[in-house]
Amino acid sequence: MHRSGVVMAWNVFKFCTALRGLGSIMIILVLGVVGVSYYAVVITNYGPALAAGGLNSLLALAVLLLFHFLLVMLLWCYFSVVFTDPGSVPSNWRPAMDEERGVTDLLTTTEFPTNSDNQEVRYCRNCNQLKPPRCHHCSVCGRCVLKMDHHCVWVVNCVGALNYKYFLLFLFYTFLETTLVTLSLLPDFVAFFGEGEVPGTPGTLATTFLAFVLNLAFALSVFGFLIMHISLVAANTTTIEAYEKKRNPRWRYDLGRKRNFEQVFGMDKSYWFIPAYSEEDLRRMTSLQGLEYPSSPDLDSQEL
């Protein structure tokens, strides 16, 4: 029985590794949904309405401008998550040593109270190396990821310390875009089931119907994920850590909602809604990637 259990566990990890093969399929699926929505909104409905002129052209212009703006932001955030490394542990990483006490102390500022239960240095048996706090091994990527939230098949990448902000912005702009498409196609969807004759060819009507259903489904599902991650950011936790937090009412990384938000989105407000960081915040993120623990609390390197 024990031997079969070991084989079953091994097969599970093989299955996780095989998920990487879905990468190109998921990207094509995302681009396919974008393409169907673009054809239904721009080519079939509001593009011709804009060209026809009249009062309806003003509404069409507003819809098209907002649609293209959200689409650019959605794709920018999406590919930022896809191509940004979530953060990995250097092979020679070692925890900081508290020479006075003679023990390893991974929390180097007074913002985080020491906890004797959490002073142990963790070791990853899969990577055969030490790993810092809030770091977890991803069975799909086959490596340890800094402040890992989850492995997302939709972005073909892990969501971690260095691309979590981009993932949240992707959810945010996806919700706005899919909601806009749903509302803009709602009149045609209602008319489709009405008694009157609906203008358009069977192909364009089918595309409009498909785009409405897909965007409505995505809007509802993404809204749920967005609410969940907003609550996680407010508590300075991750999806993986949510279970640990339930077992420990006093979450040691919770600095208050404002500081928790700034650790993910940065200190510069002008960069909050784009998948980029200011030079100061970029320096902080580089520090996180190098696993340096500056003594200045402004760098908030302890978010790992």
Residue 300 has pLDDT above 80, yes or no: no
Which residues contact residue 258 at a Cβ distance below 8 angstroms, ignoring those fewer than 6 apart?
none
d(CA 21, CA 14): 12
Q: Which helix (H) or strand (E) holds 192?
A: helix 164-192
At 3 the pLDDT is 41
Per-residue pLDDT tens digits for 86-119: 988 887 778 765 434 444 433 333 333 334 344 4
Residue type, position 271, single letter: Y
Rounded to an integer, the average pLDDT of 41-46 is 94
Tokens 């190109």 -> residue? 24
Q: Is 156 left (phi over 0), alpha (psi -120 to 50) or beta?
A: left
Question: In 3D, which of 208, 275, 218 has the Cα closest to residue 74?
Answer: 275
At 119 the pLDDT is 47
Q: Which of 135, 138, 152, 158 is catalytic?
A: 152
Question: In 3D, which of 237, 231, 238, 296 has the Cα closest to residue 267?
Answer: 296
Provide the whole-model pTM.
Answer: 0.81
d(CA 261, CA 230): 9
Per-residue pLDDT tens digits for 164-207: 999 999 999 999 999 999 999 998 888 877 665 666 677 888 89
Better-scored residue on pLDDT, 15 or 109 = 15
DSSP 130-187: EE-TTEEEETTTTEEEET--EEETTTTEEE-TTTHHHHHHHHHHHHHHHHHHHHHHHH
Q: Which helix (H) or strand (E) holds 101?
A: none
Residue 141 annotated to the active site: no
Contacts 24+ apart (CB under 8 A), 9-15: 13/139
Residue 141 has pLDDT above 80, yes or no: yes
